[in-house]
Amino acid sequence: NRQFCSYKITTKTQNFCRNEYNLTGLCNRSSCPLANSQYATIREEKGRCYLYMKTIERAAFPRRLWERVLLNKNYEKALEEIDENLIYWPRFVRHKCKQRFTKITQYLIRIRKLTLKRQRKLVPLRRKIERREKRREEKALVAAQLDNAIEKELLERLKQDTYGDIYNFPIHAFDKALQQQDAESESESDAEKEEEDEEDMDKRDFVEADDSDLSDFEDMDKLETSSEEEQEVEEEVQKKASRSKSKGKTPLKGPARRKRPYIEIEYEKETETATKTKAA
């Protein structure tokens, strides 16, 4: 044991034997196939178990050294076969053979069960490709300029009126009204509108709501039919407008955000919830 054996593997607590014919896998005097001239093992090949035996008589013929016996598929019958083959052999070898056989059959059963279930296929990653993809992704991200693209798209949609009347940016509404009015050629109303255009946004909101008769806007079906809507949406929009005016990119903080960013946080919360309930 203390000497060199090419099959020996030493670890901190134990020595292992790498020999394929070893019965237990440990490097002991009793379980070394090289040290014992009478030895037996169980090995399995392609799902079938064989009993391998080595006797002294054949020690001179290395090619015929190991004798092989196919064991029965039935567990108990195979155990009996082991018994009758190793009939006068030492207890240790017989016992260990049966133990090994048991373990082998158990893992064969498990293999068969697992192959029926879904199996995880491991696909190896290629490092070069991974790196390449990662780099390309970063470059694509930079090239994409997502924020700009999204903003542009949103503005496009606003222009094309997909949002309908929610956002009352009157310049657009008035532009459209202008275009439609041109067809009717009411130049006076145009002049009026232009004047109104130049006023403040907030004031304009008021003006629109007050003009409930909307006599000038007869062709503007939108504004007419949704004038009531407008009044309801009016409040929300007003608040939105006031909110939007005083906000930076933080749509959820309250109106006094710019001046006192951190002091009056609770204040902002309250007002915010108040406005939300009103809008809803």
Residues that bind other proteins (CB under 8 A): 117-118, 129, 132-134, 136-137, 139-141, 143-144, 146-147, 149-151, 153-155, 157-158, 163-164, 166-167, 169, 171-172, 240, 244-245, 247-253, 265, 268-269, 272
The CA distances from residue 191 to 83, 174, 208, in Å, are 114, 12, 16
The two structure tokens encoding residue 73: 């598929």
Nearer to other proteins (CB atom), residue 102 or residue 244: 244
Residue 278 CB, nearest distance to other proteins (Å)?
A: 14
Cite the DSSP H helix spans in the chain. Answer: 75-85, 91-116, 127-144, 146-159, 170-184, 187-197, 201-210, 221-225, 227-246, 265-279
Give the whole-angstrom CA distance, residue 101 versus residue 107. 10
- Taken in order 179, 180, 186, 191, the sign of the CA dihedral is negative
- Per DSSP, 62 falls in state G
- In the complex, the smallest distance separating the C-beta of residue 269 from other proteins, rounded to whole angstroms, is 6
How far apart are CB 45 and other proteins at their closest, in Å?
Answer: 29
Least separation in angstroms between CB 152 and other proteins: 9
DSSP one-letter code for 200:
-
Of the chain, the end-to-end C-alpha distance in Å amounts to 86
Task: Report yes or no: 58 and 65 within 8 Å, Cβ to Cβ.
Answer: yes
Least CB distance from residue 187 to other proteins, whole Å? Answer: 25
CB of 47 to other proteins, least distance (A): 24
Q: How far apart are CA 244 and CA 253, in angstroms?
A: 10
Pick between residue 57 and residue 232 the one whose CB is nearest to other proteins: 232
Sequence-separated (6 or more) residues with CB below 8 Å from residue 18: 7, 8, 9
If 0-12 CB within 10 Å is exposed, 13-18 middle and 19+ buried, where does residue 28 land? middle
* DSSP class of 8: E
Q: Quick one: 77 or 136, whose CB is closer to other proteins? A: 136
Residue 173 CA to residue 12 CA, distance in Å, equals: 84
Q: Which lies closer to other proteins via its Cβ, residue 114 or residue 207?
A: 114
Q: Output the smallest distance, CB 254 to other proteins, in A.
A: 9
Least CB distance to other proteins at residue 82 (A): 37
Rounded to an integer, what distance in angstroms lies between the CA atom of residue 15 and that of residue 10? Answer: 4
